[in-house]
Amino acid sequence: MNLKNIDLNLLVYLDVLLRERNVTRAAESLGISQPAMSNGLRRLRKLFSDPLLVRTSGGMSPTERAESLQPMVREVVASIAKVVQPDRQFDAASTDRVFRISVSDYSESTLLPHMLRRMRSEAPNITLDILTPSDVSFQDLEQGSVDLVINRFDVLPQSFHQMPIWRDSFSCIFSHQNPIRNNFNLETYLEAGHVWVSKTGMGIGVGMEPGAGQHLGWVDEALAKLNKKRRIRVFTRHYMAAMRLAILRDLIITLPSKAANLLKDDPTVVILPPPFEIPEFELTMAWSPLLQHNPAHQWVRRLIVDVARNMV
């Protein structure tokens, strides 16, 4: 195939079509007419000798060939955008840019305060729009409408860029009046009541079932390997709320150590390592390839990594 015969606009069309999976919305996104987009889809089908998008009961669905093309096309379009965009210098001290960042409650309570202090010092005019994981979909991140997502992920789409922020262990928090402090071991841990706290991934969360141990996360998976199960009495998605429950003398909260350390100077609570091994987990920063070469975006990513490194 001779590359000079390929209209690069078709790759832009394909990128938007695979993102929107709707001809009308894709046309609106690019500011062209629906007939023009339909014609572009016909040319794409001919170019790749594949239908690419087919009508199903759930709307337009990508073929296997289209799904394999999507990350490559997104990378090509992002690279072309970098080539044609003017080389602008980014001045953090004077910018009034808005950064939209989705963070888990864990990230918000541990990393965000340190980020804000650095940003207020180096870029006093920026605005942060902090979103929760339930506010954001992978499509929002892919389109670049959200700058960054900082969370723990089991899996991310291959097209996304990502970088580890830190690794964290687990700690247990309970009231200093809890008699377990004098005999803290696996047996007394299992006899106690527990607060479950977690919100990972993206999208709207669902309710929890105490018996569904395989869906409860790291702590309960570690216990399951020992053929043990804890007695969960409270489910919450908010780390600060969970830590406030530590004042109740009959509950134990097992959560990431960096979050637990926020209470290290509180004389009303005790912080101890769990009486069994729980694997460490990784906090990750992810972003769209469309923003990979954006100077402002590069600055904020460097700042976050530097802040996180100095917190370790």
pLDDT-above-70 percentage for the chain: 90
pLDDT tens profile 21-40:
889 888 887 778 888 889 99
In one-letter notation, the amino acid at residue 182 is N
Domain 3-84 and domain 98-156+288-311 have a common topology: no
137, 149 contact by CB (below 8 A): no
pLDDT tens, residue by residue, 150-203? 998 877 777 788 899 999 999 999 999 999 999 999 999 999 999 998 755 544
**Better-scored residue on pLDDT, 198 or 280:** 280
- Range scoring the smallest mean pLDDT among 48-52, 67-71, 208-212: 208-212
pLDDT higher than threshold 80 for residue 4: no
Superfamily assignment of 170-279 in CATH?
Periplasmic binding protein-like II (3.40.190.10)
pTM of the entire structure?
A: 0.68
* Whole-number average pLDDT of the chain: 86
pLDDT at 198: 75
28 burial type by CB count under 10 A (0-12 exposed, 13-18 middle, 19+ buried): middle
Cβ contact 150:103 at 8 Å: yes
What number is the average pLDDT over the span 11-26?
A: 88
CATH architecture for residues 3-84:
Orthogonal Bundle (1.10)
Task: Check residue 214 and give its pLDDT.
Answer: 45
pLDDT band, residue 3 (cuts 50/70/90): low
> Domain ranges in the chain?
3-84, 98-156+288-311, 170-279
Give, in order, the Cα–Cα distances in Å from 146 to each of 15, 138, 149, 221, 300.
18, 9, 8, 32, 13
CATH class of 98-156+288-311: alpha beta
The average pLDDT across 255-278 equals 94
> Is 101 in contact with 135 (CB distance < 8 Å)?
no
